[in-house]
Chain A
């Protein structure tokens, strides 16, 4: 008989907002409920948590202790109170606390790095290795997650839409606005042009004419099984991009620098692949060790390593240990039902409050295509490093726009089979040109191949209640509940038919 570790909790810190209070002896009032919830979740309290959590080592070899991780996480309640109030956490997942710290500390870490002279590069839809090799720190779409989604502050989205279009994807325009407002200290934008995500480079052209940040565009041949000339063409641009970062950091970028960045990235990819193998293991499918929300918190960094692939890899390795322990002892994630309806989220996925609705309805979101595809395969560690990166980008990344449609479907179908997925949940974002047009065709292809049904939800930024807290739109809640109920009925039908 398995057990759920806890029901999962959303805590209510006070309304005071301050960034002070990162030391345990100076816990301010609004942080106490968070600390209390965390301590309550782990038998033995603070000492047990810090004892169970492994320290976190970063790319520059600095290490922070588990106690420090915890202190800083609690400190994040100042700038990001909604992160604690509006999402249901499984505070008993000790390494999950570290993942949350890693995510919520992104902006602070960008400023710390910038203060040390590290160039900060807004890297849109391209591999982070290019920036790390040049001595910089990359940041992609995650800054939108922290500064708009999690902070609950939609001003960047509103400003971004003034700068671009009222029909813009909230993410692309918000990133452009964040950069223009210098909310993060970005020195250079490197964006994939081509049709990779045509709204992103177009959004960044608002910075032209001395209004903001210098931009560099990497042109990606699309829509074909990449020929050798295409790999070389992209590799040449990757070399220029790394050199541009090197110019900012005062570094001549050697091939060895790129190889090191690739090795770091591959270590993170391998750690993540181990994570997915655990999540899709038979025992975990019956008793998922992570709640849906904790799933996405764990994999969100994968798209861009949140500025530090080494820390990211270390973090996931520690998390894997804890997950393995949960699987071995049959402990489910907080709030997850036994043998839940297994869902997979293709395409875009947001840090939506919707994930707890999935759990409550008896489902579980087991994985996310956008993030999982990013670590599906390693970058080859032989030959020319830029070509290796270009090959990975054009030929190995199944979600790449450069990849043929069939390749994406093949990969997705493989995951669905391995995870015995029962339904696909498409969470489309308003104004996004990348995924929504393809979702119906992807869903149709999977339905024809595996008989798996899909549901489609489209939303802009989350709705808020009267107190300013995120809420799930009623129609979305109803759709999710009905979809999961339908899949449960289907299961029962199969059992009755002896399936």
Chain B
């Protein structure tokens, strides 16, 4: 979601690297729908619809949708918002949570005006505290959805189902609506359809001889949690259709920043890559790398959870079974699902290297950087570059040098 302060505050390297008008009509349609959505949501609210602003990818949007509310994901990376957030949470929070607080507390911002209810299935302490601060400062009601952080077993599943039932009941109470099994099935089918299409897009991006730039790709992926899901599903069909079409029938799918198919293949891992967080991606592509996958919580992890049964149990199982965040714990290194998932990802995408993005003060990923590097290098022979950074361009030169050196090594 764009910030209140507009494109000027967005994080960029090359001019308009993340916001350039696409050569693809289908992607322009996504951009247009995104731009139109602000007014649409405002209009829907005037008609009585409620907006649930949430953080983290483990939040069951199906449930909110089935209750007739509008779920929108709160994720920002504006340096201005980050600075404003410091006023409320200090400067030792990660840039993402600082920007989150700075944006939603900003009077006149879209989220400050139009979010009715705050929530999130948060896994790290920083997101947890950010929501508590937001609720206190904006007086918006808040209800967390607790998600277990330990490896799943019967007790964990049972506890999470209890929590999901309580959450659904309390959300129903707030919205003044109840959900029906039919409505839930419709929502689950809708979001499952979206996930299938995003999975297809990821596969295309990894295999296509002329992929689009990852920042452009991310614009499509990141639009989902803001757009109307039915419209988004249709828009994704358009994007897939256009990307699957033979290159001779239209303009080259490759954008200015995209790398040739023979470029070193890189998987992006680590902390959240929020919408418009384009710097690292641009630096990688400018250095000649081709991004072929990610395990970002705002990227591929948002669709790695097909819901098999349109029930609360089905939703609980799907979210518990999806690839975990770095905040999740597992004392058993061999069975750590996050590492396994990342290893599988590097194999299926035939990655030459992994760039592990650590936002400053993101302990959940920073603490595990060394272990992740050792794990992947020993088992898959895949080199890993850990990049520590924050929003704004204060460390641009430093990050560029490291990225260029890494791409040179894996080339």
Contact = CB atoms under 8 A, between A and B. Distances in A.
B125 A434 contact: yes
Contacts of B149: 193-194, 201, 217, 219
Nearest to A240: B155
Contacts, number: 165
Interface in A443-468: 444-445, 456, 458
A64 to B, nearest CB: 38
A170 to B, nearest CB: 12
A441 B144 CA distance: 18
B92 A431 contact: yes
Interface residues of B, number: 53
A444 B369 CA distance: 36
A223 B133 contact: no
Given A433-B126, A441-B137, A458-B92, A233 B155 contact: yes
- With a 10 A CB-CB cut-off, give which of A219, A438, A456 has the most chain B CB atoms: A219
B329 A163 contact: no
Interface of B: 87-90, 92-93, 97, 122-126, 128-130, 132-133, 135-137, 143-144, 146, 148-150, 155-156, 158-159, 162-163, 166, 326-333, 336, 358, 360-361, 363-364, 366-371
Contact of B128 (A195, A199, A202, A203): A195
Given A167-B363, A203-B367, 7 more contacts: A168-B366, A199-B363, A214-B331, A229-B162, A233-B162, A405-B132, A440-B87
Contact of A236 (B144, B155, B369): B155
B360 A167 contact: yes
A330 to B, nearest CB: 41
A222 B132 CA distance: 12
Contacts of B159: 221, 229-230, 233
21 contacts: A164-B366, A165-B366, A167-B360, A167-B361, A198-B126, A199-B125, A201-B149, A203-B363, A205-B371, A206-B370, A215-B331, A216-B331, A219-B149, A229-B162, A401-B128, A432-B92, A433-B125, A436-B89, A436-B92, A437-B92, A444-B136
Nearest to B98: A437
Given A168-B363, A206-B367, A236-B155, A433 B150 contact: no
B136 A165 contact: no
Nearest to A402: B146
A491 interface: no
Contacts of B333: 208-209
Interface of A: 163-165, 167-168, 191, 193-199, 201-203, 205-206, 208-209, 214-217, 219, 221-224, 227, 229-230, 233, 236-237, 401, 405, 428, 430-434, 436-441, 444-445, 456, 458
A436 B93 contact: yes
Given A222-B128, A433-B126, A199 B90 contact: no
A229 B161 CA distance: 10
A176 to B, nearest CB: 9
Contacts of A203: 363, 367
B125 A401 contact: yes
B332 to A, nearest CB: 7
A223 B125 contact: no
Contacts of B128: 195, 222-223, 401
B390 to A, nearest CB: 10
A222 B156 CA distance: 14
Contact of B367 (A191, A199, A237): A199
A195 B122 contact: yes
Nearest to B130: A437
